[in-house]
Amino acid sequence: MKIESNIVQSTDKPDQVAVMLIDVQQSLLSGIENRNDLLDAINILIRSTKILNLPLLVTEQVPQKLGPTDPTLRPILSHIQPVAKTSFSIFGCAEIREKLEKEKVAHLILSGLETPICIYLTAIDALKAGMEVTLLSDCVGARRTIDAAITLTKLQNAGCHVIPLESFLFGYLGSSEHSQFKDISNLVRNRK
């Protein structure tokens, strides 16, 4: 896998990269201070995965108790069936492990909730499994921002790449000559 500046490039084999959207459920979002900014970034991420034809896997933590994925995201996720999980790491879910193995995922792009719990434990397990891990700093959230900051620093020190969404997207494109540059550029142009 070709990685320059710790960013996945579009020249990588698409089946080696997967984007994970972890537990973005309304009940979990209610405690997130910057939830509107987070949802905006995740919305752009989801739309970008469609444009770039990147695999996107979605999980929900005990949806029968915590409810489904946030309703503002469901229309753009209508093509994906979320996987219910009870474990905090996605690697505790056999269905997700099987999908990652089937797709031969070598680089996991993480987004969702909560940074110090499910994101952290998933990233650690992915590193243990020998995967590259990129956390999109503006696409992850936590109830306590201090916990999130400590966790992101710890994960970066462990070998994860921590970058904002736009760094990932434009790094993936590589240049303005990429065939999807205009579509991605239009998505992020009016972002706050």
Comparing CA positions, the residue from 27, 9, 5 lying closest to residue 17 is: 9
β-bridge partners, 3: 8
61 in Cβ contact with 85 (< 8 Å): yes
Q: Name the band, by pLDDT with cuts 50, 70 and 90, for residue 9.
A: low
**Per-residue pLDDT at 67 exceeds 50:** yes
For residue 112, give both structure tokens. Answer: 């969702």
Comparing CA positions, the residue from 44, 178, 20, 4 lying closest to residue 103 is: 20
Average confidence (pLDDT) over 115-142: 96
pLDDT digits (tens, 9 = 90+) for 136-181: 999 999 999 999 999 999 999 999 999 999 999 999 999 999 999 9
Which residue carries 């995740």 as its tokens?
A: 42
pTM to 2 decimals?
A: 0.91
pLDDT at 75: 93
- Stretch (H or E) spanning 30: none
Comparing CA positions, the residue from 178, 133, 175, 172 lying closest to residue 49 is: 172
Using CA atoms, how far residue 112 sits from 3, 10, 28, 38, 179, in Å, is 23, 23, 10, 9, 28
pLDDT digits (tens, 9 = 90+) for 68-107: 999 999 999 998 999 999 999 999 999 999 999 998 999 9
CATH number of 10-189: 3.40.50.850
